[in-house]
Structures are given as structure tokens and as C-alpha cells.
Amino acid sequence: MTSTISSPAETGHGVAVVFEEMHRWYGPVHALNGLSIDIAPGELIALLGPSGCGKTTALRALGGLDVVDQGSILVDGKDMTHVPTNKRNMGIVFQAYSLFPNMTARDNVAYGLRLRGVDKDARNKRAEETLELVGLGAQSSRYPHQMSGGQQQRVALARALAIEPKVLLLDEPLSALDARVRRQLREEIRRIQIMLGITTLFVTHDQEEALAMGDRVGVMNAGRLEQIAPPAELYDRPQTRFVAEFVGLTNRVPGKADAKTVSVLGATVELLPGSAERGDVTALVRPENVRLTQAKDGTGRVLAVSFLGSLCRAQVAMRDETIVVAQMAASDSVGLFPGAVVRVGVVPAPVFATTD
């Protein structure tokens, strides 16, 4: 059987998307505050942020489901800002189950093709293939109420992909699913996205999801893009205090900054750009960068030890009552127990520092 699912080169998938200075107000709420993002063809951008930060508004604006008050949206170089949703050719997978209840999985997937005038045989064939792609080839005759949440979201993904959209928009599609299914499905989405090379905007409030899936991750706060960078860079070199605190776990440890370095927990480490550079500061130190050594003259006392499988996390109280969390390989945690006296240090990795 010859596949009718086309590769990016054949269909023009993998177009560039540009957000230019987008603003959106809902009454007094500034939901998008000068949002600008360049998305490269075939890239998966994960927008991450707390509830109400504007990430879904940005996605809906790109999909044409919401308007922007200022700014513009370019897709493949064309201004799409005022193009109606149904003319944008974008595939959207929603947070809520959005399959049409009166249609089978096959009919749901074929619906977009039906609207494009594809004849019945061709659209059914394409629908079956797309369902096969998401691992639901055998479920094509089922109605949404006969499927689990995970299956419904797979069908929704197939439906979005069947129309060969210019851009794939994923609006927290995994948030209603249980943890196991969520992990499994996110890997499949990423596999399919890479296979098809389709430009994708993925909105989530789950940082593990964003870091695992995104080529780049954009962190949003109060309508603004705080930082956009590859996951490792975002994690290791946050540019703002919000990013440093929002992404991953951080310890707030007092230190003394001196131009490009900060003295913290007995060590001098490099400061990240954007940090406070003078005087007493609060250094934001990742738990995995904290080192614990058993020593009778140590300045910390272990309060609790949590076993997390391959990792272990220890909570340590310092003499000045600061609580520091350290994370290490489980094999390195031998001898750590509540009450143990330890010396607390940091590895020489750059840190972010603030004055508050």
C-alpha cells in the first residue's frame, strides 16, 4: 500500500513562524505584552509558564481562535494576523477532548479532508493511515465515548495531522491524562513531529514535558517572554530570576557578589548574566550542584532524606537556619541519614543571583 501521508519536503511542512510584538488585552489584563518569537521551520517550541501567563493566548492567536490587538503573525513569510481560523490550515490539538461525538475515529480524522473536497475513498484511506501513525489503526470504527482519554487525544492528533497543516498547535494536550499515558504519548508526539518535520508550538505548564519535548523552550510570565532557549541552556543558564526559580528546583542561598562572581556556601562561582553583581545577594543554586560531605565539623545537619529511585534528595539545615536541598545519585547517599552532620558546598557551576 502506498502511503498518502506526505513528507515535509513534499507538502511544504516545516514553515517558519514569526510573532512580532504581539499585544492582547482582556479588559485591564495585558495577556500578551509585546510577545516576539521566531520559530524555525520544523522546530518544536514549547511555551512554558504558570496559569494566566499568556501562553495559550499566543497559541490561540496563531491558530486564529483569538485576535491580537497589536503586532503581527507571519507564517512562511505571509501575514496571517487577520486570516480567519478556517483559512489558516493549522492543526490544533486541544486540552479538552475535542473529538466530534457523533463521528467515528475515522470520520473525525477525515472531516478536515471532507471540507477540502477530498473524495470519500481517498480521505478514508488517508484517515486510516494517519490513525495507523498514531497507533490506532484498529480503532477507526470506534466512537469517542468508546475510547479512553489517551486514545481520544491520539485521534485528535491524527485529525490535526491529516490535513497536512502548516503548523501543529498543541494546547496542553496531555494535561487531562494520567502520568504514565502522558509520558508515553509525549514521546509519540515528538517522534511523529520529528518524522513529519512539522513546525510545532506546544503549550504546557508542565516543565518536565516542555524540557523533554521542545527544541527550544520559551518561558512566559505575565504576557512576556522571559527567555527562550534550548532546554539545557534554559536550565543551566537562566537569564532572569523568574526562569531560574520557575524551571527546576532551586535553593535560595545567601551570598556575596563581586562583579562576575559570588561567594556562596564557601565557594566562589561565576555569576550568570543578568544577576545582581554587588553586595549581599541571594544565589539560586540547583540541588544537584550542592555537594554534601560527611564531616564532624560540618555546618549543616541533615533533616530528611528522600529516595527517588536512581536519585536521592537530602534536606539540610544550615547554622544560619537556611534550608538547603541537595540532590545526588542514590549510590552517593550512603551514610546520609537524618541528624547526620555534613559539610555543604557547591560545584563551580554558574549561578543566578538576586538582591531580594
**173 sits near another protein (criterion: CB under 8 A):** no
| Position among 29, 96, 304, 330 found at the interface with another protein (CB under 8 A) | 96
**167 sits near another protein (criterion: CB under 8 A):** no
Question: How buried is 38 (Cβ within 10 angstroms: 0-12 exposed, 13-18 middle, 19+ buried)?
Answer: middle
**116 sits near another protein (criterion: CB under 8 A):** yes
Segment near another protein (CB under 8 A); pick from 21-29, 58-66, 248-256, 293-301: 58-66
CA-to-CA distance for 243 and 227, rounded, in angstroms?
A: 7
Taking the least distance from each CB to another protein, the nearer of 174 and 281 is 174
| Position among 177, 225, 271, 283 found at the interface with another protein (CB under 8 A) | 177
Q: DSSP character for 61?
A: H
Q: How many Å is the Cα radius of gyration of the chain?
A: 24
**83 sits near another protein (criterion: CB under 8 A):** no
**324 sits near another protein (criterion: CB under 8 A):** no
| Position among 123, 154, 186, 224 found at the interface with another protein (CB under 8 A) | 154
Instruction: Please report the sign of the dihedral spanned by the C-alpha atoms of residue 132, residue 56, residue 67, residue 198.
Output: negative
| Position among 36, 85, 141, 306 found at the interface with another protein (CB under 8 A) | 85
Taking the least distance from each CB to another protein, the nearer of 138 and 308 is 138
| Position among 46, 48, 90, 281 found at the interface with another protein (CB under 8 A) | 90
Taking the least distance from each CB to another protein, the nearer of 58 and 92 is 92
| Position among 72, 89, 263, 315 found at the interface with another protein (CB under 8 A) | 89
Question: How buried is 307 (Cβ within 10 angstroms: 0-12 exposed, 13-18 middle, 19+ buried)?
Answer: exposed
Segment near another protein (CB under 8 A); pick from 43-51, 110-118, 125-133, 192-200: 110-118
**98 sits near another protein (criterion: CB under 8 A):** yes
Say what the alpha-carbon torsion angle 146, 149, 155, 159 is, to the nearest 10 degrees: 120
CB of 70 to another protein, least distance (A): 22
CB of 26 to another protein, least distance (A): 12
Taking the least distance from each CB to another protein, the nearer of 160 and 264 is 160
Residues contacting residue 71 through CB under 8 Å, at least 6 positions apart? 19, 20, 21, 22, 23, 32, 34, 35, 36, 81
| Position among 14, 42, 49, 91 found at the interface with another protein (CB under 8 A) | 91
CA-to-CA distance for 97 and 156, rounded, in angstroms?
A: 8
**102 sits near another protein (criterion: CB under 8 A):** yes
Residue in the block written with cell 475535542: 98
CB of 57 to another protein, least distance (A): 14
**149 sits near another protein (criterion: CB under 8 A):** yes
**Dmax over Cα atoms in the chain, in whole Å?**
79
> How far are the Cα atoms of 9, 34, 241, 250 from residue 228, in angstroms, in the given order?
27, 14, 14, 19
CA-to-CA distance for 249 and 325, rounded, in angstroms?
A: 9
The residues binding another protein (CB under 8 A) are 63-65, 84-92, 94, 96-102, 111-112, 115-116, 143-154, 156, 159-160, 163, 169, 177, 181, 184-185
